[in-house]
Structure 1
Amino acid sequence: MSQAGAFRLQVGARTLATIPRRLVRVGLSLDAALAGQMPVLPPLGDAHGYRITSLPDTVAACGLLPDRLLRHVQQRYVRRWTDLTIGHDAWLAGLSANARSGLKRKGRKLAGEGRLDIRRYRDRDGIAVFHALTRPLSATTYQEKLLDAGLPENPAPLFAAADRDEVRAWLMLMDDRPIAYLCCTAEGTALRYDYVGHDPALGAWSPGTALHAQAMADLFAEKRFTRFDFTEGDGQHKRLFSTRGVACVDLLLLRPSIANRGALGVLSGFESGVGLAKRLTAVPVLKRLADRVRR
């Protein structure tokens, strides 16, 4: 549990505005989501409400959440994960033929651009090297610039995880220059998809996808973890690499104050407008017009 700071009015990854709110964040682990557990909500104190992430759909619909609080579903998604006990060959066989050929094609394209080197890190000394090499790359990524989800500047939590054998990190270099990274920490026997990024200039070559494919091969071979947890949210990359999932929601529960009702009204109106815009741009004529406007 931690404090979260604001409602973000976002279009894709870009935040247009924020509404300051003090929220107690309650994040469910993958084990808790799979078990369909109702989270224990700590006292609010002076916070405006809760932000609960990865709440199973079945729990959100069962009526056990406090009725006195205002409720708003921020997003619905499948929390995806990979079963690391099935073996690498079975995992590859579960990918579509197009996906398997796509991974090979991306690997060949990258190899044609320069000399590739993938390095792996897990102990304290290795994580120190990884952090020093990766932080400058992280600062250039959209994860850090738009999502505030870059590799942390303070490596102390990663060092502590390394001391417990609960961190795995990978770095791809091209001609000795870092171009993509993946850093994961453990929660129980699951390894979490925590920090990821790549050189934006090489986005067309998908270095992050190629690196993650190698990381999966390493994890299947190591047999230290039973699951790879893609955490909150969904996306094409997660759908490609995962084997299973659980339907979840991210939920806001707020005190029923006038200020909170107003903030939720603004947030709901904005989200409805974004949803309408997405539906309209699916119409071919309007999509072409939107593309011309963006150019």
Structure 2
Amino acid sequence: MPYGIAFTVGSRRLMTVERDVATLAFSLKDIFCERLPPVPALTSVEGLRVLSAPARAEKRLREAMPGFLVGARDTFDRSFIDMAGTYDAYLARFSGKTRSTLRRKRRKFEEAAGGRLDLREYRSPDELERFAQLALPLSRRTYQARLLDAGLPEDDHFRAAMYQLAEVDCLRAFLLFLQGEPVAYLYLPVEGETLIYAHLGYDPHHAGLSPGTVLQLAALERLFAEERFRYFDFTEGDGAHKALFRTGSIRCASFLLLRPSVVNRALLGSLALFDQSVSLAKSLATRTGAEALARRMLRA
């Protein structure tokens, strides 16, 4: 399937080059069990997109595919929440200062909302239809959609998959409302005993009320109460939000393995040179005090 190899500066995507690749994604259970998922056939594609591979598995893959080009590599701590205990036990893991900050953010949001937290959960196919009606317009306003092309998908395939998951009770979706209007959403498919952190977004006009943080914690309280789930998987990528809420993490990498064609060599070489240039420019901006100005220009 087509995958867009992105040339990005900060959170802004400047250009995307598509290559047809198969995907090999490691689940949290794969990582814990130290197993390699089945490698898909590569007969009609340019290579493999590997997601969240731990170091040992990455070494095995690269040895099994000699000659393939490795590029677009991103290393990160794959964060997760161990939900074996209670919600109160989970909260107790935070420092006193962090718990105080989280309570203050929720209180501030409740005050702006008229005194109570309006959090709504969607699970059945009918409920998910309403969720889509409310969440999709909100998603279009988020920075995830505007800058990263990572808002809630709006295609028929996503909609069909959403209903199929709901039919077998394998989806949890939440909306946080402010004065009757949705301002943040959270979309969580379920795989066995694991909740998958697929989509989170919030209205940037209300960023001062920390709606994403308030929604995350309130949703976790409900999810712990179900006593059904063992893990909350934040999947690939770093971020302050994941670092705040996680109880553990595993060092992983996502990368491409492409056939050694001239075009693929040029593409991955250009990407590496571009990323190196961006890193040098960022270092220069930091040293000269121009980093804040550069960030404002990128957000404009």
- How far the C-alpha of 1:147 sits from its partner, in A, is 2.3
Q: Does residue 120 of the first structure (1) align with residue 105 of the second (2)? A: no
Quote the residue 2:226 is aligned against. Answer: 222
Question: Which among 239, 244, 255 is matched to residue 248 of structure 2?
Answer: 244
Aligned-partner residue type, residue 57 of structure 2: V
Once the two structures are aligned, what percentage of the paired residues are identical? 39
Question: Which among 151, 166, 169 is matched to residue 170 of structure 2?
Answer: 166
TM-score by structure 2 length?
0.91
> Match of 2:64, SS?
coil
Structure 2 CA distance for aligned equivalents of residues 230 and 92 of structure 1: 18
Higher deviation after alignment, 270-279 or 205-214? 270-279
8 Å Cα contact 2:72-2:271 kept in structure 1 = no
Structure 2 CA distance for aligned equivalents of residues 261 and 31 of structure 1: 34
Unaligned runs of 5+ in 1: none
How do residues 27-176 of structure 1 correspond to structure 2 at under 5 angstroms?
27-62=25-60, 64-72=63-71, 74-115=73-114, 116-153=117-154, 154=156, 155-176=159-180
TM-score by structure 1 length?
0.92
The structure with the largest helix share of the pair is 2
8 Å Cα contact 1:73-1:249 kept in structure 2 = no
> Match of 1:211, SS?
helix
> Match of 1:40, SS?
coil
- How far the C-alpha of 1:6 sits from its partner, in A, is 2.5
Unaligned runs of 5+ in 2: none
Quote the residue 1:265 is aligned against. Answer: 269
| 4+ runs deviating over 6 angstroms | none
Structure 2 CA distance for aligned equivalents of residues 8 and 276 of structure 1: 18
- How far the C-alpha of 1:73 sits from its partner, in A, is 5.2
Structure 2 CA distance for aligned equivalents of residues 213 and 292 of structure 1: 33
- How far the C-alpha of 1:277 sits from its partner, in A, is 2.7
Quote the residue 1:7 is aligned against. Answer: 5
Structure 1 CA distance for aligned equivalents of residues 73 and 243 of structure 2: 21
8 Å Cα contact 1:118-1:171 kept in structure 2 = yes
Question: Which among 183, 187, 208 is matched to residue 179 of structure 1?
Answer: 183
RMSD: 1.7
- How far the C-alpha of 1:17 sits from its partner, in A, is 1.3
**Count of paired positions:** 290
- 1:119-158 residue CA offsets vs partner (Å, 9 max, x unmatched): 1111122212212121111111112222222223242211
- How far the C-alpha of 1:188 sits from its partner, in A, is 1.8
Structure 2 CA distance for aligned equivalents of residues 143 and 264 of structure 1: 25
